[in-house]
Amino acid sequence: MKLILVRHGQTQANLAQEFVGWSQSSLTDQGYYQARQVALGIQNPPDRIVASDLDRTLTTAQVVCSTNQWSHIPVETMSEFREIHFGSWEGQTARQIQSQDPIQWQAYLDHPLDFTFPQGESLQMVKARVQRGLRTLDQELGRQEVVLLVSHLGVLRVIQDWLAPEVGDRFWDYTFPQGTFKVLDLANRHGEF
């Protein structure tokens, strides 16, 4: 299986520098532009197009499809590829959280990989969820099929981290700017999701 990983375009919440996981946030004009640029960079149509079930990824996928005239390929949604759930921190900026919840904020800064967001998820929960989604795709597809997956920074980092376990804990080192894509060929990988 080949994955074309796409990060959704810029959103209103991104501009406001808000923690936005499971909340909805619309693409900005720049976000639409980024989605069109992604489309121009992908030459061949994939076998499947999958997005998280949040508007920003679904809209990005739809823009890619319409730009490339891939109306014959339906955009499927899978909740397994949602961003991390920031719980009670959803829709707030770092400054607001630090002011309202300084103890939890410091715990997050001290141990971000082990932190569970108040009324939300931990990174381990996200990893398990993403793994389920990848396993589902892997079971449904052949080794040579191509999936365009539109998702979120946290999810894309989880996938990249999973694919390179030998380099140690590099989760925060993986960059994936909004409205960009990377191609990963998993046909020759060893092991299961």
CATH code (residue 161) = 3.40.50.1240
Q: How far apart are CA 133 and CA 158, in angstroms?
A: 12
Q: Is 7 annotated as a binding residue?
A: yes
Q: Is residue 193 part of a domain?
A: no
Q: Is residue 20 part of a domain?
A: yes
pLDDT by residue (tens digit) across 72-122?
Answer: 999 999 999 999 999 999 999 999 999 999 999 999 999 988 999 999 999
| pLDDT for the residue numbered 11 | 96
Q: Is residue 89 part of a domain?
A: yes
Residue 10: give the domain boundaries.
2-185
pLDDT by residue (tens digit) across 7-62?
Answer: 999 999 999 999 999 999 999 999 999 999 999 999 899 999 999 999 999 999 99
| pLDDT for the residue numbered 188 | 62
SS (H, E, C) the chain: CEEEEEECCCEHHHHCCECCCCCCCCECHHHHHHHHHHHHHCCCCCCEEEECCCHHHHHHHHHHHHHCCCCCCCEEECHHHCCCCCHHHCCCEHHHHHHHCHHHHHHHHHCCCCCECCCCCEHHHHHHHHHHHHHHHHHHCCCCCEEEEEECHHHHHHHHHHHCHHHCCCHHHCCCCCCCEEEEECCCCCCCC
Which residue type, as a one-letter code, is found at position 132? Answer: R
Q: How far apart are CA 49 and CA 146, in angstroms?
A: 9
Q: Is residue 191 part of a domain?
A: no
Q: How many domains does one find in the chain?
A: 1
| pLDDT for the residue numbered 165 | 60
Q: How far apart are CA 30 and CA 14, in angstroms?
A: 11
Q: Is 91 annotated as a binding residue?
A: no
Contacts of 137 (CB under 8 A, 6+ apart): 1, 48, 50, 147
pLDDT by residue (tens digit) across 116-132?
Answer: 999 999 999 999 999 99
pLDDT by residue (tens digit) across 154-180?
Answer: 999 998 887 766 555 667 778 889 999
Q: Is residue 54 part of a domain?
A: yes
Q: Is residue 192 part of a domain?
A: no
Q: Is residue 61 part of a domain?
A: yes
Q: Is residue 157 part of a domain?
A: yes
* Residues identified as active-site: 8, 83
Residue 146 forms beta bridges with which residues? 2
Q: pTM here?
A: 0.91
Q: Is 9 annotated as a binding residue?
A: yes
With a cut of 80, say whether residue 153 has pLDDT above it. yes
